[in-house]
Chains A and B, each alone.
Chain A
Amino acid sequence: MYVPDKIQEIEILMRITMKQLKFIQHSFIILTLFSISLFISCNKDEDKLPDTGAVKIISLTATDTVLKAWYDTTDIKVVATGDSLKYKWECNHGTLHGSGITVKYMAGECCVGLNTITCTVFNDSSSVSKDINIRITSYFEH
């Protein structure tokens, strides 16, 4: 009588161990998938340097803030203070040309609306960004 009871006890223990193993296996799969999804949807903002106040944007101005699609262009200029400054430019719609403190912005018919141009000024210790909005009107508007 003693031996079968012991076997039953071992069986129960094995079932519990199997359940734990399955739980660990499932957790591992979920964790792996979660890590992959985190890796895929990486956040570009993490790359930016902290704003320590060393760099300061004084002004971000455009020669014109309303442009006709495929027809007009505008010069956008940034004035900033700080040591060994570097500049990054991006826009949500349209095209930027140039580099450094001045770029030229233009856009096509697909970009009609209020568009945002972002300038980031940075050096080895800090980074500051500022936006300017430019409205693009239709090529067909008179």
Chain B
Amino acid sequence: MLHTILLSACFLFCFQAFTYGQCCSAGNPSSFSFTDNNSLKTKILHVSSSYKYGYSGKYYAGSEPEDVSFTAPASYSFIDLKAAYGISKRLTFEASSGYFFSKEQQNPDPYPSDIGYGLGDAELNVRYRAYKSVTKHIELTASAGIRLPVGVFDLEKDGVKLPITVQPSAGSFVYLAGFSAAKTFTENKLKLFSSIFMEFPQLINSKNFYYRYGNLYNLSISAAFPVHKLLNPGLQIQAEIREHATREDEQLVEASGYKVIILSPQIESDFGNNWSVLVYTDLPVFRYFNGMQLANSFKAGIRVSKRINLG
């Protein structure tokens, strides 16, 4: 009975996300945690909730910090709810959405900050286990999905619409694709993961706005070494490329797009009856920004998850 209620609640939550009709902006923070990539066993429900915080404090031109005469940092505080369900031994369906407590862009003095908040976009993903070898402990998984622009996109203050960078929704559909490989070494329990994820944002075309964010490519290699049930440390290195954005008449937005290399240490602890908590941080170790842009300084997050067998 409890399982049925939980499953219904998850799918109701997903459906609820569809009921917010909006039109255009910059969207949910991407997450490429390596523990999310594998397919689930049949009738296994994996429910998780993550809190993420990100801060951007310095302007970069190319690979060097730019000395500007003003300070205008940006930050976000976001929580999401994700449900993944193993439909069959090969197929896993996943749905998620989230809420921005704040999405803030500070402005040079004396102007006040622009602060957005509200429901973010919803994401639907299907993961397909293409190959699994029990003897070699290798698993290959492909995924495809879509991010639906159902979040808040029309926030305003005193009759003035806030800039799209602080609107919770990305304002357009985003197509998602990925491929991951996992290998476990039985002798020392070392787990290796490698994955590539791609995001293809679609055009935001409304009465006053014509813009397309650049495609995103994220390649990551991760290793996890379980020391104890309560201590499962991991290290991930990500290479991420965001292409230039385009605006009216297919003009390239020069100050958009980047190449970054991120180091992500993380610790996962399993406890109780299939509960798990993951703490991680993303630290950029190399940054190259086209033109001059505000660069992310760090991201950090905590995720609590529960695995439920509905079989």
Contacts and interface: CB of A to CB of B under 8 A. Distances in A.
Contacts of A97: 107, 111-112, 160
Contacts of B240: none
A110 B154 contact: no
Interface string B116-160: 000000000000000000000000000000001010001011111
B112 A42 contact: no
B253 interface: yes
B208 A88 contact: no
B207 A40 contact: no
Contacts of A70: 68, 70, 108
Nearest to A116: B208
B293 A92 contact: no
Contact of A96 (B161, B206, B251, B255): B161
A123 to B, nearest CB: 13
B57 interface: no
A96 B165 CA distance: 13
The contact size tier of chain A is 35 or more
B281 to A, nearest CB: 26
Contact of A95 (B107, B207, B210): B107
A43 B22 CA distance: 8
22 contacts: A40-B150, A41-B23, A45-B207, A70-B68, A89-B161, A91-B161, A91-B163, A91-B208, A92-B208, A94-B163, A97-B111, A100-B159, A104-B111, A109-B254, A109-B255, A109-B291, A110-B245, A110-B255, A110-B293, A112-B255, A113-B253, A139-B292
B18 A36 contact: yes
Given A44-B23, A110-B253, A95 B114 contact: yes
Contact of B159 (A87, A94, A106, A140): A87
A38 B292 CA distance: 39
A108 to B, nearest CB: 8
Interface string A39-60: 1111111000000000000000
Contacts of A92: 208-211
Interface string A127-142: 0000000000011100
Nearest to B15: A36
Nearest to A122: B159
B209 to A, nearest CB: 5
Contacts of B211: 92-93
A103 B291 CA distance: 28
Nearest to B157: A99
A41 to B, nearest CB: 7
Contacts, number: 95
Interface string B75-107: 000000000000000000000000000000101
A86 B159 contact: yes
Interface string B242-258: 00010110010111100
Contact of A40 (B107, B148, B251): B148
B4 interface: no
Those 5 A-B pairs whose CB atoms lie nearest each other, nearest first: A99-B158, A90-B161, A42-B21, A109-B255, A89-B160
B31 interface: no
Contacts of A41: 21, 23
Contacts of A36: 18
B254 A112 contact: yes
B186 interface: no
A39 B23 CA distance: 11
Interface string B196-217: 0000000000111111000000
B273 interface: no
B160 A90 contact: yes
A106 B157 CA distance: 16
Nearest to A87: B159
B111 A118 contact: no
